[in-house]
Structure 1
Amino acid sequence: MIETLFRQKHALEDQRKLRSKNAKMEKDALSSELELTREQRRASLSQIKEYESVTPVVDAQLNRMRNATVDHVISTIQLQQQSLTYAQIMFSKNQAVNLRSESDIKLTELSRRLASFDDDVAKDLDEIDRQIARIDEDIEDNEGHRHVKVEAPCSGVLTSLTVTLGQQVEAATPLATIVQGNDAVQAELYVSSDAIGFIRPGQPVLLRYDPYPYRRFGLYLGRVTEITRAPLPKEGSQWDTQAGHANPADSGGLSGNVFRVIVTPDHRYVLANGERHRLEAGTALSADIAIEKRQLWAWAIDPLVGVGDAVETAMLGAGSGERQ
């Protein structure tokens, strides 16, 4: 839109320059035409005066020749020749009269145009200036809507742009992602309610980054730094709409409410093909959290302990029934 306005403005500016440049030549041409018309009018007046002086003489001679033809003094052919001469003179006189009339009309029009020429040029230039002024207002209005200064809430590294040049965006639309230069990278994990009770700050976490398959690039260590104790509902919350996170209800088998756990990776990069690749904001990942440590023998007898607890519960239930 604004490019079109600038093109229109430049076209009007060129038109104004051309109008100013051609004004003098047009006025000179108009003056020359006016003078030529005056010369034509003077010539037609001179011809009319000449014809008016000749016409009575030719008319009188024609009348005498008519009388002489009756008396057979001259022939009919001579009378016809004189009549033709008289008709030619009258025709030329009428042409001169018509030319004088046309010259009078043309002189009036040219005189009017020449008298108002400067004012007409000034009006044309003023109209062009008004059009340019209106376009300037439109450009200023568009510039005001086109350029909006958006200040970042913090300093850091711009990692991604979510919009393109010229795209219209609504209020509160994210435009870019900034990773603060001095802050550690943080990962957001979403944990089901049946596992959140075992997670504590400082617990080690094994991170698997989706862009870097762990079978090829390995696992990366991190630590739990924050646990959000307020649950997030299954639907309508931000955990299932944030960029870079899959819907836990669809991919992880989570049900009900979930809790957000913040993990700080030990490194802000991934080693891939001998190079360090910076972790970008929005990178999808999955993780394993080490909830507790046990001896090998404790893992071995854990099923037996569970069976013993179940038997004891059943016996207590039966005894209570007998007492009743």
Structure 2
Amino acid sequence: MAESKYNGKQYQANNANDTLLTTPSTENNSSNGTAEGSIDLDTSNFEKDVILKPSPVWSRATIWSIVGVTTFAVVWASVAKIEQVVTAQGQLKPRQTVKEIQAPLNGVVKEVKVEDGDHIQKGESLLVFDSQASQAELESLEKIRNSLIQENKFYRTLFNAPLSPNIVEQEVIRLKLPPEISALALNRTALVTENQLYQMQLSEDSNIASLKPDQLARLQAAFAELDSRSRAAELEIEQLEKQLNQNQVQIEDAKKQLANDRRVLQEIEQRNRESIAQAEESLRIDREILESILPLSEEGALATIQIERQKQQVQDRQRDLVDRRSNGIIELENQKQQVQTRLAEIQQLEEEKSRLLLDINQAQQEFQNTIAITEKDVRDRIAENKKRIAEIDSQINKVVVDNEKRIAELNSQISAAQQTIKYQELKAPVSGEVFDLQASPGFVPKSGQAEALLKIVPDPGPDNPLVAEVYVTNQDIGFVQPGQEADVRIDSFPYSEFGDIKGKVYFVASDALEPDQIYNFYRFPVKVELDAQNLMIRGEEVDLQSGMSVSVNIKVRENRTVLSLFTELFTKKVESLKQVR
């Protein structure tokens, strides 16, 4: 619609199909004149719209066409499925990796039998090493090992079985032991021999024939000393026993005399009693006679002299009684004193007997102690010698342990030398093509480094097919899994003309490789096995070769819709807007 405005009129033009709508203009002149010669024009009466309207049929058709196309596109985008792939580049390689041939052990290369690019068969000779130095080294190592084995055998024999000093000296010289070890072995042998001597002295070992003359003399002197001390103790015991026997005889005699004295004492007591009783009876009779004749004397019947005689008789009887009593008491006391003397003598003899018994017991104890002290002294010496032997054994055991460690090291070195001799001729482990040959006659591999002498590319075949080894970026690896199908396109043969090869992912690395000079990004190695090992080129089968570069499309998702692509783009745009500051 176009509009044209003019002062006083307005027109609107349209196509032939448009309708012209006009509004008559009305000219109104101001009834009032303008003051001071000016004219006032009202332009609102001249502005009128002219509208050109399109045909409604065509506009509706256009709108519905746009709506239909849009609806169809949205429905198709939400229903249509597309195949999502991850693209990666790499090259063809044998499934078996390139074999790096390394020297099994250190050695000097004597001869190289292959060259770069040679095709070899499995088991074919590659290199020959010089084994002369290895053979000399092996003999030297075995000699040292045998010497150490013999040395340890000698030590164990020394521990388990007593050896004579002469044999030990011979072994020390034969084995060429160090001076300090030789001294330990000889000292141990001397201590063991001395303990044998002590055990013979205690009658615990009867192998006297193994003693040397000086040792036998020492043993005899020890026996003589012990016998002398024992004999002296026995003689002392015999003397004391003789004294005890004499004491026993004296005690028996004293007891017999005591019994006799006691019997005499009883007889004296009995005799005194009878004598006193007789004297008392005679005194009584004389008194009765005196009493009976006294009246007669008063009457004058008897002479006075007879009375006096009778009185004298009574007095004599009294004196006799007193004498008998006095004498009896004296005799009795004397006899009692004799009995007490006998008792004292017996007691003294008993005390002497006790002393003799004690002396005999002490002498016997001294005799036993003489043997016990001698045995204790000998056993103390044995214990001290055993302690010293244990200390020597500890030092020798350290030598044995060190020798065992050294033998183990030598065994390892001997095995290495034997392997060197065994592998003096290095053979190919697989069939393939030789490349990157580093070895040459006189070449010496660096010790301690896994340096490849050469490399072999294994021949492809049924047992070693070619596979595509590609690298997937860190952003795409999350969708790649073993078992997914893939399209492998050989860069040497354009895909549009020769097609591709189907394959399947069988290996996905669990860790990424760091960037290097070739790949400046983190990447995950992925391997794809091929369904075919050749391509049809102009009607002929052309075998694939190791090293060909390839592009692989890995099918990661097959159920994604077209609409999801737009929603993903929209989501990314929204996320990017959120990150804008």
Q: How does the TM-score come out when normalised to structure 2?
A: 0.23
Q: Which has the higher contact order (CA 8 A, sep 6+)?
A: 2
Q: Which protein has the larger Cα radius of gyration, Structure 1 or Structure 2?
A: 2
Q: How does the TM-score come out when normalised to structure 1?
A: 0.40
